[in-house]
Amino acid sequence: MSFTVQKLNEGTGPTVPPGTKVKVHYTGKLTNGTVFDSSHNRGQPLEFNVGAGMVIRGWDEGITQLQKGQKAILTCPPDYAYGARGIPGVIPADATLIFEVEVVDF
């Protein structure tokens, strides 16, 4: 499986530039549909600097293709996610992850 960005709607303005602080709402799922994390459950979006290695590679590369208000599904194979290490008890080793993301602001 390869890394993909499936855009679900149109956003506004430019795409998110690398190095920018962005706010993203997301739900992360395993390929079997199991939800392992969601910013919606916490009631606030995740903030991070795009391209700074603060998040997985799939996010650093995928978020730069999106505009403010845009929603997308990021399919992140292991080399774009947590790889062979996974996250013990949460994400299995070599897992492909599916993220439903929305760029709230940047």
**What is the tens place of the pLDDT at every residue in 40-65?**
999 999 999 999 999 999 999 999 99
5 confidence band (pLDDT: 50, 70, 90): very high
- Does the model's pTM come out above 0.85? yes
Mean pLDDT in the chain?
Answer: 97
Residues 48, 80, 82, 106: which is the catalytic one?
82
Helix, strand or coil, per DSSP, at residue 49: strand
Whether the CB-CB separation of 93 and 84 falls below 8 Å is answered with yes
Find out whether 60 and 53 touch, Cβ atoms under 8 Å: yes
Q: Would residue 3 show up in a list of annotated catalytic residues for this protein?
A: no
In terms of Cα–Cα distance, which of 104, 97, 5 is closest to 45?
104
Task: Using a pLDDT cut of 70, give the percent of the chain over it.
Answer: 100
Query: If you classify domain 4-105 with CATH, what class do you get?
Result: alpha beta
Residue 26 is among the residues annotated as catalytic for this protein:
yes
The domain segmentation of the chain, as residue ranges, is 4-105
Residue 36 annotated to the active site: yes
Say which of 3, 36, 79, 94 is annotated catalytic. Answer: 36
Q: What confidence tier does 1 reach under pLDDT thresholds 50, 70, 90?
A: confident
For residue 98, count other CB atoms closer than 10 A to its CB: 19
- For residue 79, what are its two tokens? 């080399």
Q: Tell me which of 26, 48, 80, 106 is the catalytic residue.
A: 26
Look up 56 and say whether it is catalytic.
yes
